[in-house]
Structure formats: C-alpha cells, structure tokens
Chain A
Amino acid sequence: MTVHPIIAALRRHKAGVILIGLQIALTLAIVCNAVFIIGQRISRVDRPTGINESNLFLVTQQYVGAPSSDTKAGADKLDTMELEDAAALRQLPSVAKVSVISSMPLLNSAWNGGMSTKPQAKSGFKMTTYYFGDQNMLSTLGAQLVAGRDFNAGDVQHAGFRTDAKRPVVIVTQSLAHKLFPNGSALGKTVYMDGSGSPSTIIGIVKRLQTPSTSDWASSFAYDSTLIPTRKDAFFSRYLVRAKPGQMKAAMAAAHDALFKVNPMRVIDDDMGIRSFASIRAEAYKQDVSMAILMGAVCIILLALTAAGIVGLTSFWVGQRTKQIGVRRALGARGIDILRYFQLENLFIAGMGVVVGLLLAIGVNQWLVQHFEMDRMPLGYLFVGVLVVLVLGQLAVFVPARRASRVPPVTATRSV
C-alpha cells in the first residue's frame, strides 16, 4: 500500500489531524516526565537504610520533673533512669534486643557535624550525622559490620546532652570512611569532630547506615553516619527495640506498660511515643509517595483521554468516509486493506505527534532541571514513552478501523 492516498486524505482534515497530533505530543511529553518523576521518587523511597527493618520499633519518652542534664549529678541521675528503662524493656518476653539511641534512620531528627582528619580544622569537613547510644546500637539496628569490631561495654560512657565529652572510639559507615580516606582503609585511623582537637579512633566500619534526615539538603551525606558509644542524658530518651518475630504488637503494648511501671513520672505521646519502623518510614516518605501516586493517576487519565480522543475522531472519520470505503471495497479492496489504511493513518498522525512530543518532552525536562533541580531524563524514558503512545494509538484505532473494514462493497451503490 502506498502512503500517498493517506497523506492526500489527511490534507483535507488538517485541523483534526493537528489537534490529535498535538494531543499525542503533549501526552507524550507529560507522561515521559511524569513517569521519570515517579521513577525518581520510587528509587528514593526504595533506597536501603542498611538496617534490618522488620520487628523494629522506637520508644521516645520524656521524664517529668527531670534534673538538669548540665550538671554532673543531674546527668548521672538521668543515666541511671535510662538504664533502668532499658533493662525493663529487655526483660519483656516479647523483646529480643534493646538499645539506648539518639535517633534512627528516616526519623528526621538528626545531630549533624563535620569530621576531619586533622585536629582543630577550620575547613575541609566531611558532613556526617552522629548516632549516640550504647554498645547494642549496631546489633539492635541490624546493620552489618564489614571491618573492625563492634563497641563493647567498656567503650560506652555517658554524658549530659549538651556536655562535650571526649569520643575516643567511633564506628563509621563505609561511605564516610571512603570520603575521609579515599586511598586506603580507615580502620584504626584517627579523626577529629567539629574542629575539636581531641582524637577519635575508627574501630569499626559499617557497610551501610542511612542518616535520619531525608530532606534534600542532607542528601549529599545520606549514608555518612558515625556511631558514638556515648549515652546522651537528657530529659527525654529514645529506646530502639527489636521484638521477637511475630510479637511486635505485643512488645509495643508491653513496652508502654513496662516503662510506666518503672517510673510513672514520664510522658509518652499517644501517636509519636511508640512507633514501629514501618510508620517512621511511611512518615518520612509520605510526600514522595503521594507525589508518585498523583503522577501515576495523571498518566493513566491522560493516556485514557488520548485513547478516547483517537477512538472518537477515527469513528467520525469512518462514518464520514463510509461511502468512499464502499467504493474502494467495490473496486476490489479487501477488508484488511481498509483496516490497514486506518491503522497506517493513525501511525502517521501519531508519528508526527511523537516527533513534536519528543522535542516537548526534552523541553519540559530541561525546564524541570532549571526550576526544580531535577535530574536530566535518561533517553530510555523517551523510548518507552514513544512505544507506549504508538501502541496506544494502534489499540485505540483498532475498534473503529475494524468497523470500517466491515463496510460492505454494496454501500457504494446506495445513496447515503
């Protein structure tokens, strides 16, 4: 079949062709970019935290009438209270492990600092987030140690929340270790924190441990965590608890009661006090998830709308040309020839739409890069988008085209 008659026919429907072509172009541009945004959000939500996320929950509580942590006596008293709490939690039959900890991945409550390989540095810091806690931090989180050793009870000290205690030993993540010591192992090396002159020795390296912050500005050091074996004593404390498999619910309920039994002078918030890691994760990424859902919905509606538009327009064209189809059939064209004609016509219109749409898609992406600090879209998205739009066009055109192919040759002899 030659394309000549198709082009000749299209020339007589310029407005309709341009409109459907533009609709296809815009749909392609938006769907490509929307799918790209969905992909980016999903990869953000899916990035691993480095911890074993199942059966994990966090208790955040405040003491009422607690002593000030700025005095030695106050800090000691608070530390005793924390240890009592942790011990009570550990004794619960549904609990496997407990750690006193300052924060956890995705919690969006972070203590950030700068690390340097030189003492009293003024610049050249590597940003990091500190996790303060006891010797059970790593094992309760379920993060994987790849070199060196975990903290032991002898490493652990305690200090008032605002007191600057020495930090003789630390564990860092592989990512931070590599930034600090690009040429060789960081194990056993000395680092200095926040421009201080007191040295800390890296005794262990963790494979991966995400920082608490999920905001954009912290994304450059999202995996650069530092673990410090110091319990930070304050009027509030956090306990990370790993429940025994299948006993999560029981453990969360029991934890609440157990803490109040140890000391009723405390506040545990009804919603935010005892949270499963799953809920912490959902909270951290709720914006990304809702954006991805929205984009997905937009894509589906747009594709459906474009398909409906193609069906509608082609149906009218078929109706309009019934007589001509009859003539062609009478002159010997088979049903399949008529079907192919409409399919090819659609391919032609969609093809023109796709060419414009590709340019538009790249333009929209460029605009997003400029105004929304988004990444450049890989060409794969465009390729898939084009394929989807062309296939959609063929599917949409099939129903009216088949109807056209069934027009009997006798129509030619009838008056319309």
Chain B
Amino acid sequence: MFKYYLQLAVHSLKRYPVLTGLMVLAIAVGIGASMTTLTVMHLLSGNPMPGKSGKLFYAQVDADTDNSYPHKDPLDMLDYRSAMDLWSAHKADRQTLIIDSSVKVVAPDSQLPPLMRTMLSTTSDFFPMFDVPFQYGQAWTAEQGQRHARVAVISAALNRKLFGGANSVGRTLRIRGADVRIVGVLAQWRPSPVFYKVVGGRFGAATNGRFYGDTEDVMMPVGTGIDLNDGHFEPFTCWDLPEHAGHLTHAGCAWVGLWVQLDSPAKVTAYHEFLTHYAQQQKQLGRFTHTDVRLRDLMQWLTFNQVVPPDVKLQTSLAFAFLLICLFNTVGLLLAKFLRRSGEIGLRRALGATRASVFAQCLVEAGLVGVLGGIGGWVLTLVGLWAVRQQPVAYANLAHMDLSMFALTFLLSVLVAVLAGALPAARASRTAPALHLKTL
C-alpha cells in the first residue's frame, strides 16, 4: 500500500512542479537557516570541559581600593599579591594561575625571523587540571616552577612552524633574549571557548567571538614568565598606576587569573570560606576595602561573561522564526492542494476507503515534501556552515557539522515534514463523501 501511495504522491507532486518546488524550497531554506545558526550556537555555547566543568572554579577577591564606583562584582582578575597568596595556600585539590602576555620568540637553530607570539605564564597544575594533551614530552614539575627554571611547553602549531612538527623536546627557544629549554609539545588542543582566559566579556559582548581563538603558543612557569617578560604585561585594569608600566608585580593592577579544582561540594564550601576569610584578613590589614568574593564554576563563569555573542543568539532566534513561517507556508499550500482534490477523495471514500487510509495517503505525499525539503535543508546547512567559515570571526574554522548536529538536522526535517503534513492530511481525511460526490 505504501508503495502505491508513494506513486500517487510522486504523480501528484509532478502535476504542479512549480508549487512542489516552492514547498520543498521553503522547508529546505527554513531548515538550512535554522541548522546553520543552531550549529554555530551549539559550538559556541558548548561545555569546553565536559564531565569536569562542575569541579573547576574561578576565584575572585576584590583588591581594588578605588571607591569611586559601586563594587557590584569583584574585578575579573586578581592582583599579583592576592593571586600568589591564594595559590600558595594550596587549599584546593589543584590550583593554577593564568597570566597572558605576548613575547618575541626565536628558535636559534632555525632560520626563521623573530615571531611575536602569545605566552601563557602558568603553573604545573594547569596541564592535568584542564586535561591538556601532550604530543611529546611533558609539563614542567612543581619543583621546576618553584625555582623559575628556564623551561617551556609549546603548542603544536608553534612546533610545526619552528621545527616542522618534529619532536623538539630538549631544543632551545629564545624568548626576549633568554634561552629556555622545551620540555613538552602539546598535541592539537583547542578548547572552545578558550575558557581559562575568558575575562571582561560583559563589557563588550558584541566582540565576544574573540574568546574562541587559539590557545597560547608558549607556556612557561609563572616565575620564569615574569622574569623574562617583565615590563610587557598588560593589566586587566589598574587602580594604582604602576611606577614602571608593564612591571605589575607590585602595582595595584588586576592581571592574574586563578582557577581551582574542587572535587566535592564540601570542598567548594570550604574554599569559599577560605576566600572570605582571606578577604576579611586583608581588610583588617588595610590592603582591601571590600570583602566581596566570588567562586563561580566554569559554566557559570562563561555565562557571566556572556561568551556567546548576542548577534549569534539573535540570528538563531531569527532562523527559527523563519522556519516557522516556512512551515506555515507549506501547510497552507498543502491544505489548499488536498482540499482541491475533495472530489477525488470523496469518491475514494464512497468506494470504501477508510479515513485512515485517506489520511495515510495524504501524509505520504506531505512526508515526501518534507523528506525532499530535509535533504535540501541538509545541503543548505552545509553551504551555510561553509559561509560561516568565510566570515572574519575567531570561531570561523570551528564551524563544522558534528554527529549530534547531523542527527538533529535529520530529526528536524522529519518533524517539520510530519507537522507540515499532519494537519492538511487530517483535514482532507474528514472530507464528507456525499457532498463532494454531488458536485462531480
């Protein structure tokens, strides 16, 4: 029976090729637009550390003594002293500092000119805490970090650029004129967003696409990084200008991020108390004027920073409204088409066809339109994602369809097809046979 209905459907659709084309195109465009934007949304609002994000927390205390503005939230980063105090207390299961800066890098044994690259000054916990994958070698040890050892871990991209992708562990890198030894090379690693350096997102949400760029090319222990690059650090903000700009360790500037790993809810509570206690103690010492602290987990921190650019959200809402209109359009046209055939349907009913079989026949025709539209929509989604990849945004090269999005596209097509078909089919199956037989 299904095969026969299918033949009828194909025949019926072929009778009005322009109309059929219009319905298929409407569904295809609607699905293409929705799935393109939804894939981008999915990509941008995803969890960069699935399974672990609930244990990773961003700690904030308020060292800013400038009282000319309301301290609604502590600053997005810490001053050097608070960061070092909190980090060296080792009250969390793991803790790591984040300082971002740019450095001039030369590989003495390569012929390449100096490169300006981003450098992350961090601690040895960074790598196990964020499950950073290594291609060669390993991270530096805590002890090496303590004594400011001249060691570095480099990104896969920099390793390719400088050493052609070979194992470069043990080779030398010249950073701001000092030689450091490479101890590890990362495998391809691209958390999306680069969550650990997300700060200040709520101040310029339109440009938050920047959080989806690349990770740093050079990673060094905090002490070593500050030794080598002092004078070139950019503060998040300052309330007390440094004596020599760029030398921030003793200045009233926020420029260090602190991430902690807390494995149980009890530890989270304890760490929050520890932060509060620290802030109160610093206030008593006269160093702080505010005792507000924050301990947001990874996803809360990303939400707080509004990492998904508003333009992307807007486009997604728009695409779904668009799909809805396409759906109305198709339903309306199918309905008119089926009702036009009232006479034919009346005859079938009079000859003994049940309502269910009329419904089934109409649904097959509607479903066929949906399936064709779905296939078109899938193709348009691929085209749409290609278009996104041509956009000048940091996340452009991430825009690919993954398996879950592929499945969702398929599901959405079927859902749209059934929705578009069910109402007209139901309406057509209620055709009263007698009335329409009379008009024949």
Which A residue sits closest to B19, measured CB to CB? Answer: A312
Does A170 make an interface contact (CB < 8 A)?
no
Which one of A20-28, A378-386, A390-398, A404-412 is at the interface?
A: A20-28
**Docked-complex contact B68 and A123, CB < 8 angstroms:** yes
A309 to B68, CA, bound (A): 60
Cα A124 to Cα B113 with chains together (Å): 48
A325 to B169 alpha-carbon distance, docked (Å): 87
Q: Does A369 contact B (CB under 8 A)?
A: no
Whether the Cβ atoms of B332 and A313 lie closer than 8 Å is yes
A:29-87 near B, CB below 8 Å: 29-30, 34, 37, 64, 68, 70
Chain B residues closer than 8 Å to A215, beta-carbon distance: 204, 206-207
Contact residue among B246, B321, B439 (Cβ-Cβ distance under 8 Å from A30): B321
- B244 CB contacts on chain A under 8 angstroms: 70, 162
Report which of B310, B313, B321, B392 forms a contact with A26, defined as CB distance below 8 A. Answer: B321
Alpha-carbon distance between A13 and B22 when the two chains are bound, in angstroms: 22
Q: B324: which of A26, A123, A161, A371 is its contact (CB, 8 Å)?
A: A26
A147 within 8 A of B: no
Cα of A311 to Cα of B33 in the assembled complex, Å:
24
Picked from A19, A267, A298, A316, the residue with its CB within 8 Å of the CB of B328 is A19
In the assembled complex, how far is the CB of residue B315 from the closest CB belonging to chain A, in whole angstroms? 7
Interface size counted on chain B using CB atoms at 8 A: 49
User: Which B2-59 residues sit within 8 Å CB-CB of chain A?
Assistant: 19, 22, 26, 29, 33
Q: Which A residues are in CB contact (< 8 Å) with B22?
A: 308, 312
Q: Are B321 and A16 in touch, CB under 8 angstroms?
A: no
> Which secondary structure dominates where chain A touches chain B?
helix
- Tell me the nearest residue of chain B to A23, going by C-beta: B328
**Shortest beta-carbon distance from A120 to chain B in Å:** 12
In the complex the two chains form, is A305's CB within 8 Å of B326's CB? yes
- The answer on a CB contact under 8 Å between B333 and A30 is no
Do A23 and B332 have beta carbons less than 8 Å apart?
Answer: yes
Which one, A295, A372, A416, contacts B310 given CB within 8 A?
A372
**Is the C-beta of B337 less than 8 angstroms from some C-beta in chain A?**
yes
Does B391 lie within 8 Å of A70, measured CB to CB?
no
B203, chain A: closest CB distance, angstroms: 5
- The A87-127 residues at the B interface (CB cut-off 8 A) are 122-125
Name the residue of chain A whose CB is nearest to the CB of B332: A19
Minimum C-beta distance from A43 to chain B (A)? 16
Q: Residue-by-residue, is A288-306 near B (CB-CB < 8 Å gives 1, otherwise 0)?
A: 0011001100100110011
Give the docked Cα–Cα distance between A194 and B66 (Å). 13
Q: Does B228 contact A (CB under 8 A)?
A: no
Residues of B close to A368: CB separation below 8 A: 314
Q: Are A312 and B207 in contact (CB under 8 A)?
A: no
A302 to B319 CA separation, bound complex (whole angstroms): 11
B98 to chain A, nearest CB (A): 23
Interface contact B336-A16, CB-CB below 8 Å:
yes
Q: Give the distance to chain A from B179, nearest Cβ to Cβ, in Å.
A: 17
Which residues of chain B in 331-364 are interfacial with respect to chain A, using CB atoms and an 8 Å cutoff?
A: 331-333, 335-337, 339-340
Interface residues of B in 198-243 (CB under 8 A from A): 203-207, 231, 241
Residues of B within 8 A of A9 (CB): none
Taken together as a complex, chains A and B put the C-alpha atoms of A124 and B69 apart, in Å, by 10
Residue of B203, B329, B340, B391 near A23 (CB, 8 A) is B329
Tell me if A312 and B325 are in contact (CB < 8 A): no
- Tell me the residues in window 329-375 of chain A with beta carbons closer than 8 Å to chain B beta carbons: 368, 371-373
A287 touching B29 by the CB < 8 A rule? no
Closest chain B CB from A394 CB (angstroms): 18
In the complex, which residues of chain A have a beta carbon less than 8 angstroms from the beta carbon of B190? none
B203 and chain A: residue at smallest CB distance:
A217
B203/A30 in contact, CB under 8 A: no
Q: When the two chains form their complex, are residues A309 and B329 in contact, meaning their CB atoms are under 8 A apart?
A: yes
Residues of A within 8 A of B29 (CB): 301, 305
How many whole Å from B25's CB to the nearest CB in chain A? Answer: 9
With most chain A CB atoms within 10 A of its CB, the pick from B67, B68, B246, B439 is: B68
Determine whether B318 belongs to the interface, using a CB cutoff of 8 Å to chain A.
yes
B114 neighbours in A (Cβ, 8 Å):
64
Choose among B203, B204, B333, B393 the residue with the greatest number of A CB atoms under 10 Å from its CB. B333
**Shortest distance in angstroms between A44's beta carbon and chain B's nearest beta carbon?**
11
Query: Across the interface, do B326 and A16 meet the contact criterion of CB distance under 8 Å?
Result: no
> B residues near A, CB below 8 A?
19, 22, 26, 29, 33, 66-69, 113-114, 203-207, 231, 241, 244-246, 310-311, 313-315, 318, 321-322, 324-326, 328-329, 331-333, 335-337, 339-340, 391-393, 423, 427, 439-440
Query: Could you show 20 A-B contacts with beta carbons less than 8 Å apart?
Result: A16-B332, A16-B339, A19-B335, A20-B332, A30-B321, A37-B314, A123-B68, A124-B68, A215-B204, A215-B206, A217-B203, A298-B33, A302-B322, A305-B326, A306-B325, A306-B329, A309-B328, A312-B19, A371-B310, A372-B314
